[in-house]
Structure 1
């Protein structure tokens, strides 16, 4: 069954907005695990506007499920953090400095040599590597020669198409990309704008998904539905 990794960036944003430690990020992550999540995802950025680098070290001490750290490896501080904490997985995302949120995957053809090099650094430390890619068959094919263990499909275009009522057309490029990944022996993750409305359809159409990483929508739903209940709702969307 597809695993659910909960991205807790938005909880850190809420904490940071008032200073102090409310909500307690570390306790929240531990609770989310207890509520049934299969993993915790964080995406520390250089300005530490949500997840702080110190948070990553503290989370590593207490998490019992899979820990996934996302970020741009062109920042040496990020590379050093990952190597020091050794999460189960590092997800490489080509964010620009100061970018509001992730909005595209790697050009795995153009950056082939760089990706091979940096992926080798993490894999030599025993860390599973996933790279963020758009649902383009050629990009998935080139990802397979970088040495990455998995790809994470960037799902915003699916979410937009699904919301507009065009779910079959929206899912088509993702199925093609996912089938390519499976044929080439790549593990498959997905994330960005997946929510409790579109997740079930996405995972049913691509049942060999290894993992989805969801933060913004899940945390927003938790405001109305409660955090424990929301985690369970999302988990049920992954059961077919």
Structure 2
């Protein structure tokens, strides 16, 4: 069964918008796990727009399930990741002007730096290192070449497709990428824009997906129905979807 990891970044965004101490992403993570999430995802950005180093340290101490630390290759953030040693480190692109992550890494263009950071993360004791990439064969091949043992497929184009035909086309691209990743020995993860409505098509089309990262959809529903119910609903959506 596909594991469900919940991203708590948006809890930090709300807290920081008012420069308050609440809502606390650490408390939200605990509620997510209690409601059935298999783990927690967070992205420590260079500008600290949502998750802070305080959050990182407490999440590392309190999360019982899998902890996925998303990060750029910026030196200070890599050092923090090496210090806390999450279960999974996912390297992602990062631009200060973006609202959220836009597209995957260009692994082929950044191979030396990504190779060095990947080796450093393994050396610190991180068991799984993933690269967040678009479903493009060359990027999958490059991900394996730099030494990552996982790949997270960027599902944003699938989620944002404006027609059913376009969405199915994007799902087929993701399926081909998942096949290619599986053949190279990479563990397949996926995320960005997956929600209660599009997940069934995604899962029935895309094979080999061991883990999905979902954040915004869950947090948006939680505002209306509560965190526990929102997570339970997504847990049921993931569990009921057929590959």
Q: How does the TM-score come out when normalised to structure 2?
A: 0.93
Q: Counterpart in 2 of 1:79?
A: 78
Deviations 1:71-125 (A, max 9, x none): 111x111011101111001100121234321112122222222221110110122
Q: Check the 8 A contact 1:47/1:98 in 2, yes or no.
A: no
1:120 corresponding residue in structure 2:
119
Superposed, 1:198-237 pairs within 5 Å as: 198-237=198-237
Q: State the distance in 2 between where 1:138 and 1:16 align.
A: 38
For 1:124 and 1:204, the matched residues in 2 are separated by: 37
CA distance in 1, matches of 2:116, 2:24: 37
Which residue number corresponds to residue 16 of structure 1? 16
Superposed counterparts of 1:97-136, under 5 Å? 97-127=96-126, 128-136=128-136
The answer (yes or no) to whether the contact 2:33–2:65 under 8 Å persists in 1 is yes
Worse-matched range after superposition: 220-229 or 82-91: 220-229
Aligned to 1:182: 182
Residue 95, structure 1, aligned to residue 97, structure 2:
no
1:2 touches 1:207 (CA, 8 Å); kept in 2?
Answer: no
- Alpha-carbon displacement from aligned partner over 1:26-51 (angstroms, at most 9, x marks no partner): 22211111110011111111221111
In 1, the alpha carbon distance for the partners of 2:27 and 2:148 equals: 32
Q: Who is 1:192 aligned against? A: 192
Task: Give the structure 1 partner of residue 140 of structure 2.
Answer: 140
Counterpart CA distance in 2 for 1:218 and 1:164 is 23
Query: Is the Cα–Cα contact under 8 Å of residues 7 and 40 in structure 2 kept in the other structure?
Result: yes
Between the aligned partners of 1:121 and 1:89, the Cα distance in structure 2 is 13
Q: Which runs of 5+ in 1 are unaligned?
A: none
Moved more, 229-238 or 152-161: 229-238
SS class of match (1:90): strand
User: Displacement of 1:169 after TM fit?
Assistant: 1.2
Quote the offset at 1:67 in angstroms: 0.7
Matches within 5 A, 1:3-82: 3-73=3-73, 75-82=74-81
Q: Secondary structure at the match of 2:13?
A: helix
Secondary structure of 1:238's aligned partner? helix
Instruction: Figure out how many residues of one structure are paired with residues of the other and give that number.
Output: 238
| TM-score, length-scaled by structure 1 | 0.94
Question: Aligned with 1:6: secondary structure?
Answer: strand
- CA shift, 1:131, in A, is 0.4
Give the gaps of 5 or more residues in structure 2: none
Q: After the TM superposition, which of the residue ranges 96-105 and 28-37 deviates more from structure 2?
A: 96-105
Distance 2:222 2:213 in 1: 16
User: 1:20: how far off?
Assistant: 2.9
SS in 2 for 1:104: coil
Q: CA deviation at 1:222?
A: 1.3
